Amino acid sequence: TAGAVAEYTRAVRLGARAPMLFHWLGSLLLATGDLAGAEECFREAVRRGPSLAVAHNALGFVRSQRGDRAAAEAGARAAVAL
Tens of pLDDT, residue by residue over 14-26, are 998 899 999 999 9
Is the Cβ–Cβ distance between 22 and 45 less than 8 Å? Answer: yes
- pTM metric for this prediction: 0.90
Q: For the segment 50-66, what is each residue's pLDDT rounded down to a tens digit?
A: 999 999 999 999 999 99
